[in-house]
Amino acid sequence: MKRYKYLLSKVLWASLSIIFVMILNFFLFRVLPGDPARAGVKDPRLTAEAQNAIRIRFGLDKPVINCFESINPLKLGSCLVNPLDTQFFIYVRNLLQGDLGTSYHTNRPVKDMIGEGLVNTIILIGFGQMISIFLGMALGLIAAWKVNTAIDFATLGFCLVAWSLPTFWLGIVLLFTGSTWLGLPVVGKFTPGGGLATGLPMFLDVGKHLILPTLTFSLIMLGEYMLIMRSTSLEIFSEDYILTAKAKGLKTFNILKDHVLRNAMLPMVTIIALNLGFTVAGAIQIESVFSWPGLGLSIFEAVGRRDYPMLQGSFLMIAITVIFANLLAELMYSYLDPRVQAI
């Protein structure tokens, strides 16, 4: 019963957060100075009439919401408008129908654009996270086991250096070395124009394109996981039950696997869940260095162009991911540590 209540309250809070983000997103971008009909275009050919026509096409001629002007929600306007004919209401109505709108920049449905970007980002982040999590945990565990030895210092040093490198810099260094020495591709997710191979050759081609961005991502993320794993494991090694396990004559591997790893998982789950949420948008630097067509890159472009529908859609998506990742982490706690659900 308690567990059910715990779950329900968590889900309720998550839904409230999402509704809050939905409303905030709408006003946040409109408060920024600028006009989507002119953003990104500095061309004398764009006449005032054309700009007006573009505004009408985007629906930006309507008031933001009652009592406020169009474009800028900080300027007061008429209150005597049909509330159903305001930008905010249209936004909410479309959203409830699952319609995220049409991008001002590409004239394509935002849903499609986010979908494409998200798949590419998940491929990149997914591989990168997997490698860095497994490697980070393994290295952390080994370093803690061999604490204060050369192995410990070497792993710790390496991970600290990798963690503190600027992402774009490491990306560019890997891009130069990888393409020069190994002939690895430096752009995109596959080679267009190669007859668009399917099956295994296509798979290998994508894999080849993945190597450098994934390596960059894993190296950057590795340190965080390794350090947390190492410090948690060190704490656990000093626990009495480890001494007991040793006294029972258990194999080192079994002690590490069953007693240390399992107990060290709690802080790891927190950090993994948090990172999963944030890295959906957080790979912008890697995506721009390697021209990886992911979500981060589309968001970056949308900000410059004041592409409200794209921004609203992707920020909502990111918020939902972060909230869900957190929810998932909390649910995982109660599975990993039965004490949590008593809260």
Partner 1 sequence: MSKTKWFTICLIILTLLLSACGQKAAETQEASGVPEEPSTPSIVKIGYAGSPDTLNPGTAILSEAYVMFELTYSALFGQNLDGTYSLDLLDSFEVSADGKTYTFKLKPGVKFSDGTPLTARDVVYSFNLYKEHTEFPYMNTYTANFDTIEAVDDTTVVLTLTEPVPSIQYLTTFLYILPEHIWSQYTGEKVGEFPNSEMVGSGPFILMDYAQGEYIHFKKNPDFYGGVPKVDEVVFQTFNNQDALVQAIKTGQVDMITEMPLTAVASLKNAKDVAVAVGAPLAPDISDIIFNQADPENCPEGGVCTGHPSLRDPKVREALAFATNKQEMIDIVLLGLGAAGRTLIPDSLLPWYNDSIEDHPYDLDKANQLLDEAGYMDSDGDGVREMPDGSKPLILRLNYPSDSTVAPRLSELLAKNWEQAGVKLEISALDPDALTSICCPTFDYDVLIWGWGSDPDPSFLLSVMTSESIPSGMSESGYNNPAYDELYQKQLVEVNPTIRKNLVWEMQKIVFNDTVYIVPFYAKAVQAFRTDRFKGWIINQPKQALEDVTSLVVVEPVK
| Residues lying near partner 1 in the complex (CB under 8 A) | 32-35, 38-50, 53-54, 56-57, 102, 105-108, 113, 116, 172, 175-176, 179-180, 182-183, 185-189, 192-193, 196, 204, 208, 251-254, 287-291, 293, 297-298, 301, 304, 306
Residue 134 or 335 having the CB closest to partner 1: 134
Q: Cβ of residue 153: shortest distance to partner 1, in angstroms?
A: 22
Query: Are the C-beta atoms of residues 246 and 285 closer than 8 Å to each other?
Result: no
The tokens for 62 are 């309507």
Q: Cβ of residue 101: shortest distance to partner 1, in angstroms?
A: 12
313 alpha-carbon distance from chain centroid: 14
> Between the CA of residue 277 and those of 150, 162, 340, what are the distances in Å?
35, 22, 22
Q: Cβ of residue 113: shortest distance to partner 1, in angstroms?
A: 7
Q: How far apart are CA 50 and CA 67, in angstroms?
A: 27
Residue 275 or 285 having the CB closest to partner 1: 285
The tokens for 252 are 């080192």
| Diameter of the chain measured on Cα atoms | 85
Residue 63 or 296 having the CB closest to partner 1: 296
Residue 53 or 130 having the CB closest to partner 1: 53
The tokens for 239 are 């626990």
Written as one letter, the residue type at 172 is I
Residue 115 or 338 having the CB closest to partner 1: 115
Q: How far apart are CA 263 and CA 268, in angstroms?
A: 10
Q: What share of the chain is helix, strand, coil (3-state, %, to 5)?
A: 70, 0, 25
Residue 304 or 338 having the CB closest to partner 1: 304
Residue 339: CB atoms within 10 A of its CB come to 9
Residue 263: CB atoms within 10 A of its CB come to 18
Q: How far apart are CA 150 and CA 293, in angstroms?
A: 41
Q: Cβ of residue 211: shortest distance to partner 1, in angstroms?
A: 9
Residue 205 or 235 having the CB closest to partner 1: 205
Residue 179 or 334 having the CB closest to partner 1: 179
Q: Cβ of residue 3: shortest distance to partner 1, in angstroms?
A: 36
Mind giving me the DSSP string for 26-72? Answer: HHHHHHSS--TTTTT---TTS-HHHHHHHHHHHTTTS-SSTTB-SS-
Written as one letter, the residue type at 139 is L
Q: Cβ of residue 196: shortest distance to partner 1, in angstroms?
A: 7
Q: Cβ of residue 244: shortest distance to partner 1, in angstroms?
A: 20
Q: Cβ of residue 170: shortest distance to partner 1, in angstroms?
A: 13
